[in-house]
Amino acid sequence: MSIYDTLNDMQKEAVLHTEGPLLILAGAGSGKTRVLTHRIAYLIEEKGVNPWNILAITFTNKAAGEMRERVDKLVGFGSESVWVSTFHSTCVRILRRYIDRLGYDTNFTIYDADDQKTLMKDICKYLQIDTKIYKERALLGMISSAKDEMITPEEYELQAEGDFGRKKVAAVYKEYEKQLRANNALDFDDLLLKTVQLLKTQPDVLENYQQRFRYIMVDEYQDTNTVQFEFVHLLAKKYRNLCVVGDDDQSIYKFRGANIKNILSFEEVFEDARVIKLEQNYRSTSMILNAANAVIRNNYGRKDKTLWTANGEGEKILMREFDTAYDEADYIVSDIKSRVNNAEGDYNRFAVLYRTNAQSRMFEEKLVVSNVPYKIIGGVNFYARREIKDLLCYLKTIDNGKDDLAVRRIINVPKRGIGLTTINRVQEYALAHEVSFYEALLGADLIPGIGRGLSKIESFAALIEHFKAEAGQKSISQLLEEIIEVTGYVKELEDEGGEEAEGRIENIEELQNKVIAYEEACEGTPKLSEFLEEVALVADIDSLDESRDYVVLMTLHSAKGLEFPHVYLAGMEDGLFPSYMTIMADSPEDLEEERRLCYVGITRAMEQLTMTYAKRRMVRGETQYNKMSRFLKEVPVELVSTGKKFSFEEKGQAETKQNLSVQAKQNFKAQPFGKMSSYGSARPVQQFAVTKGKGPGYDVGDYVTHVKFGKGLVTAITEGGRDYEVTVEFERFGVKKMFAAFAKLRKVDE
């Protein structure tokens, strides 16, 4: 029997259709990775395509690793020549070879979010930008969006004409790009943008890669942004053998720049495209799929498809209401523990999914108290930890001396007595003479006003030069060991003592393990630049170890692409999920994206799904009363088991509470113009005046939301009369002035 006979009819059709553009609409759990790997095998074994001519692109290292493993098993000899990698990794490989055509050195550094933030702080300081009004994170977000749309600093400046706020951003963007180039560094957005620029400006490079990649496959196509689309489009233009796989119902990364139109209008761009739907689900039960289908059917911006399964009906969806968020967390943790105790499986069968990271705290507390092992996916990335960043910056400095951020981070780590004044003088000299920070250090004797700091700087520069010489002779692991030994980094931590220091030493040991594992897995001679590149491209989701026995806590966004036997969707309340901002937004597209997120959450469950909500929870220090999420109401009642209402209060307390509620209602009827206190007595109606001196509940530089105008940035607050006049720069409606009491602005997170 052929390996292709194990595929269902639609999967087989997708595998056998090899020529021309193809859109595979693959519903959740429909076996899309299986289709892609079998398609690669078919091209090589049956069509005689050279593995060298095949490119498969995914979004995460985890997905790329899984695909690579499956391709190797199916194809065997020659499979290693197939390029299976993420967008970023693919672009890095191209740039390492050709970026000198754009004026960069091929040993460029890749800046992570931390590095970008540090650089942005420096830029704001240099340009005298008020970070209360223009927050660093917001500026980085705007620059990222511009790069996603392939807008250069010069184009951004032209578009900003006449808009004071945007002109400020344009100046920051310009300086940011200048600094990146001076540091011979790229951010993540640059990896794609520079590759597209390279392909557009260097016809021979484009021709080379078009010839190389005659068959291109892209996974998770619904998550692509404009620059990713352009990259794929350029590569596929010559042979047009482009196969994209995706699910428009799982497009949930609009905030990262993902453009759902890429998948919805694929047939418009490629008019001769073939469309194949994969609707048979191999993951979940009928109950779960019917619920998912019913919810997503309420979206208009989608391609019609209905998931079905041969897995059987399964258990009804458990829907539970609680008085408070504490009760909700208590129930979920207790339920997991009792199921494990009743031999329903190990802890790694259970996942708790929520809309915002802040919701994890309560679950963590309950899990710790209950002695249940857990892991949060989406916490502090291993490579973002202080001690790891420090040691990586030593390696970056050795590899690329032009990386000012890396050099400045380690110049006084461990402490060498090089003060901030000395560092600033070096920085000023470097800027004035247009050299890198490290080059300025090498000629420190020429810098005026260095004084006693000179010998310390020369000692540091000599140390780095020593390590650079050693790098050519030693392996990466030996070099790292020498850095730790010579600098005394670990010794300083040992002297410090305590649990924190111990934990940091363990992290350093883990980094050493990582380096050794990298060297062992590396084909040919391991290179320092390639190791640093791999580390820079690691995503947080890649840290999920499915073999370990712990309950997984994560946001719905992080859960995409994963599956668990039992899933708890917590916090299913209007105002939380969907969020208040989404509900109040003018555009229905925002609500549709939230519904797609709900669909993703539901389809993570294989056997059992529990959906919970609380009537009240603390948000930003205030008790918030919420209704059941509208997404819950979209689940057909015949699929649901509600059970009893859960509250962990004593019966007597509950009765008292009920009596108080009845009393309050009676008092309200008796005094219709009074406002009830929690004990039923009348209070005067609250006036729409703001008490002077207390502020309206937000400050200049905060983000707020308005019922009509949506999200905006507070740029000024003026105290006058009985109210505050607030000036807000709204994202869609420009600058508005309004009185705080009548505007009813609500502070929101960035």
- Please tell me the predicted confidence (pLDDT) of residue 263: 94
Q: Tokens for 613?
A: 């909500």
Per residue in 610-653, pLDDT tens?
A: 999 999 887 656 778 889 999 999 999 999 998 755 444 433 44
The residue among 438, 445, 439, 442 whose CA lies nearest residue 394 is 438
Question: How do strand 703-706 and strand 710-720 relate by DSSP bridges?
Answer: antiparallel
Question: What is the pLDDT averaged over residues 143-164?
Answer: 91
Q: Tokens for 644?
A: 């009893």
- Please tell me the predicted confidence (pLDDT) of residue 697: 81
What value does the CA radius of gyration of the chain take, rounded to a whole number of Å?
29
Q: What's the CA gap between 199 and 640, in Å, rounded?
A: 53
Catalytic choice (12, 13, 18, 33) = 33
Q: Tell whether the model's pLDDT for residue 583 goes beyond 90.
A: no
DSSP string computed for 342-367: TTS--GGGEEEEESSGGGHHHHHHHH
Q: Are 387 and 393 in contact (CB under 8 A)?
A: no
Q: Are 245 and 221 in contact (CB under 8 A)?
A: yes
Q: Helix %, strand %, coil % for the chain, to 5?
A: 50, 15, 30
Q: Are 543 and 382 in contact (CB under 8 A)?
A: yes
Q: Are 261 and 254 in contact (CB under 8 A)?
A: no
Q: Tell whether the model's pLDDT for residue 134 goes beyond 60.
A: yes
Band of pLDDT at residue 675, cut at 50, 70 and 90: very low
Catalytic choice (189, 219, 335, 590) = 219
> Which residue is associated with the tokens 């080059």?
439
Question: What is the pLDDT averaged over residues 439-463?
Answer: 87
The one-letter amino acid code at 22 reads L
Other CB atoms closer than 10 Å to residue 292's CB: what's the count?
Answer: 27
Q: What's the CA gap between 681 and 678, in Å, rounded?
A: 8
Give residues with Cβ within 8 angstroms of 288, minimum separation 6: 314, 317, 602, 603, 605, 606, 609
Please provide residue 710's backbone torsions phi and psi, each rounded to the nearest 5 degrees. Answer: 80, -145
The residue among 317, 270, 264 whose CA lies nearest residue 289 is 317
The residue among 434, 438, 399, 402 whose CA lies nearest residue 184 is 402
Please provide residue 51's backbone torsions phi and psi, each rounded to the nearest 5 degrees. Answer: -50, -30
Three-class secondary structure of residue 134 per DSSP? coil
- The answer to whether the peptide bond before residue 578 is cis (omega within 30 degrees of 0) is yes
Q: Are 222 and 250 in contact (CB under 8 A)?
A: yes
Per residue in 20-43, pLDDT tens?
A: 999 999 999 999 989 999 999 999
- Please tell me the predicted confidence (pLDDT) of residue 545: 67
Other CB atoms closer than 10 Å to residue 36's CB: what's the count?
Answer: 25
Q: What's the CA gap between 70 and 190, in Å, rounded?
A: 31
Q: Residue 70: which H helix or E strand, with range?
A: helix 61-75
Q: Are 249 and 602 in contact (CB under 8 A)?
A: no
- Please tell me the predicted confidence (pLDDT) of residue 521: 81
Q: What's the CA gap between 619 and 183, in Å, rounded?
A: 42
DSSP string computed for 691-719: PTTT-SS--TT-EEEETTTEEEEEEEEEE
DSSP string computed for 366-404: HHHHTT--EEEETSS-GGGSHHHHHHHHHHHHHH-TT-H
Q: Are 614 and 571 in contact (CB under 8 A)?
A: yes
The residue among 199, 536, 596, 531 whose CA lies nearest residue 382 is 536
Model confidence, pTM: 0.72
Other CB atoms closer than 10 Å to residue 706's CB: what's the count?
Answer: 18
Q: Tell whether the model's pLDDT for residue 281 goes beyond 70.
A: yes
Active site residue 421: no
If phi > 0 it is left, if psi is from -120 to 50 it is alpha, else beta; for residue 126 that is alpha
State the virtual CA torsion across 12, 16, 22, 24 in degrees, nearest 10: 10
Active site residue 220: yes
Sign of the alpha-carbon dihedral angle for 61, 66, 69, 75: negative
Q: What's the CA gap between 325 and 625, in Å, rounded?
A: 11
- Please tell me the predicted confidence (pLDDT) of residue 720: 60
Other CB atoms closer than 10 Å to residue 120's CB: what's the count?
Answer: 23
Question: Bigger pLDDT: 686 or 403?
Answer: 403
Per residue in 689-713, pLDDT tens?
A: 333 445 788 888 888 888 777 888 8
Per residue in 100-128, pLDDT tens?
A: 999 999 889 999 888 898 899 999 999 99
The residue among 59, 49, 113 whose CA lies nearest residue 86 is 59
Q: What's the CA gap between 251 and 597, in Å, rounded?
A: 8
Whole-angstrom CA distances from 218 to 228, 236, 245 are 10, 11, 6
> Which residue is associated with the tokens 């995460």?
60
Catalytic choice (250, 582, 608, 705) = 250
The one-letter amino acid code at 492 reads E
> Which residue is associated with the tokens 């070879």?
97
The residue among 217, 226, 40, 210 whose CA lies nearest residue 150 is 226
Catalytic choice (70, 396, 456, 604) = 604
The one-letter amino acid code at 207 reads E
Other CB atoms closer than 10 Å to residue 472's CB: what's the count?
Answer: 8
- Please tell me the predicted confidence (pLDDT) of residue 681: 32
Please provide residue 615's backbone torsions phi and psi, each rounded to the nearest 5 degrees. Answer: -75, -25
Active site residue 219: yes
Per residue in 352-383, pLDDT tens?
A: 999 988 788 889 889 988 899 998 887 556 77
Give residues with Cβ within 8 angstroms of 595, minimum separation 6: 295, 296, 298, 299, 578, 631
Band of pLDDT at residue 535, cut at 50, 70 and 90: confident
> Which residue is associated with the tokens 């196969």?
243
Q: Are 295 and 595 in contact (CB under 8 A)?
A: yes
Q: What's the CA gap between 14 and 243, in Å, rounded?
A: 9
Active site residue 33: yes
Band of pLDDT at residue 661, cut at 50, 70 and 90: very low
Three-class secondary structure of residue 615 per DSSP? strand
The rounded percent of the chain whose pLDDT value lies above 70 is: 90
Band of pLDDT at residue 555, cut at 50, 70 and 90: very high
Q: What's the CA gap between 364 and 445, in Å, rounded?
A: 54
Q: What's the CA gap between 344 and 430, in Å, rounded?
A: 64
Q: Tell whether the model's pLDDT for residue 474 goes beyond 50.
A: yes
Q: What's the CA gap between 286 and 290, in Å, rounded?
A: 6
Catalytic choice (148, 175, 187, 220) = 220
Catalytic choice (11, 32, 302, 560) = 32
Q: Tokens for 378?
A: 């989406």
Three-class secondary structure of residue 671 per DSSP? coil
